[in-house]
Each structure stands twice: as C-alpha cells, then as structure tokens.
Amino acid sequence: MATSHVFHPGHDALHGMTVVVFTKTPRTFVGRFDAEEGGMVALNAVAMHEAGPGAKPRDTWLAETKKYGVPVAFPRLTVPAKDIERVVKLGDLDVAES
C-alpha cells in the first residue's frame, strides 16, 4: 500500500511535480512546482500560454504539452498567488486536442 508523503521533507506537497497554473489573466503556466512563499508561487522549467488573437487554443496547447512534454521557455518563474485560480497536476488534467 502506497502512502502519501512529501518527497523532500519541509517542502510543499506539490514540490517537484509538474503542474498547470491557471490564472485570472490570459496566461496559463506549466512547470515544476517549487514553493509558495511571500505571496508568490515559484515554478521551474516553465512554459507559458497566453490567450489572444492568433494564439493556439489553451486546451489544444495543454493536450500537446501533456502528450509531448513541457516546451520550456523560462528556467524559473514566479506567479503572484493572488492571480492564481487553481493549480492542477499535469498528469491529472483531462484535456483533449481541439
């Protein structure tokens, strides 16, 4: 039987996991969760989708990212916690290409 534990004691439960960060802005991020400190969420090896004219639909981008891997654009990035709507493990995300 598997038990739930933090791989690196003293870190957040999502530490080191690849997550999707949905924000209240046109931007969505995919990266490895590092920590939440001082009102900021830090991610490593991050890709970003920005909705707008000419942009690929977010669900298509997420489906491709889940299937082919994270197209890293930023080695490290912080997102204000106040701008985050939700955080989901990429592996748990149910998306289909449009």
pLDDT given at position 97: 55
Distance, in Å, from the CA atom of 65 to the CA atom of 40, rounded to the nearest integer, reads: 24
**CA 25 to chain CA centroid, nearest Å:** 14
In this model, does residue 4 exceed pLDDT 60? no
Report pLDDT digits (tens) over 30-57.
999 999 999 999 999 999 999 999 999 9
Q: What is the DSSP string of 45-80?
A: EEEEEE-STTPPPHHHHHHHHHHH-----EEEEEEE
Q: Where are the domains of the chain?
A: 18-90
Domain formed by 18-90, architecture: Roll (2.30)
Residue 53 near residue 93, CB atoms below 8 Å: no
Q: What percent of the chain has pLDDT over 70?
A: 86
Structure tokens at 59: 């669900």
